[in-house]
Amino acid sequence: MSGPGAILITGCSSGIGKATAERLASQGHTVYATARSLEGMEPLEGAGCRTLVLDVRDKDSMRAAVATVEGEQGAVGTLVNNAGYAVSGAIEAISIDSIREEFETNVFGYVQMAQLVLPGMRGRHTGRIVNVSSVAGRVTMPGAGAYAASKYAIEAISDALRFEVRGFGVDVIVIEPGPIRTAFTETANAAIPQDAEGPYGAYNAAVAKADAETDESFLAGKPEQVAKTIERAITASRPKPRYRVTPIARVLPVVRGTLGGRGFDAFLRTQIKPPGAN
């Protein structure tokens, strides 16, 4: 197996992307760490990363970043699609514009990046595309319907893409973390519709509280755990289609499958009071 080559990572300003860039660079890999702005990216430069501006909602920005890597390295050897955005809250209460922005980042951005790097990978008959999904791509929790929908989409796209590009020497790998202790949930909760007196006010508040408590509990993993898993995936001679990170990511889909739809709904009602329930 050839090495991972030049590694291009999206969403490196914090959290999983930052930890992954730091870990891979520390292991001697050629890493291009990207974010919507270079502000605050100096520590990654000090860690040995090359930093670039890349906004996955801006086609010109994506093309320019890929062109830079290809100009300097010949091709992107490994793409880590990590940039993410979450909107939490009841589906009826979330604005369509917010859901559209979420899909632009979490789905269309991933697809566009894959389309941009694949010609170079096919030309060399080698490459890896790592899509950072979530346990939410397997199990939908209260208040996470829109976010889970974007991750379910990535799961489906990854399965199709893996089949389509394997003959060109390209592997497609999905990473499924459980809750990870980053600023991600805080950002998602900040976007929850604020209408305390509305039909979903108490529900949205309960969702935000539960998510925040989970991220601070022993159940939440660390970004470094995901980074270590990504490194294992891109350096394996025969990578698995999926890697799950944290016990929740491994156990929750099993619980969902065992209980079935009605049983899992009943379980969720013990965790959060549904809207409209007396």
Please confirm, yes or no, whether 147 is among the known catalytic residues: yes
The C-alpha torsion from 103 through 116 and 19 to 89, rounded to 10°, is 0
Residue closest to 187 by CA, chosen among 11, 8, 9, 10: 11
CA gap 224, 260 in Å, rounded: 33
CA gap 238, 153 in Å, rounded: 24
Q: How far apart are the first and last CA of the chain?
A: 60
H-only helix segments in the chain: 15-26, 42-46, 59-73, 96-103, 109-124, 145-165, 184-190, 201-216, 223-235, 247-269
CA gap 66, 29 in Å, rounded: 17
From the list 32, 85, 110, 147, the catalytic residue is 147
**Residues forming the active site:** 147
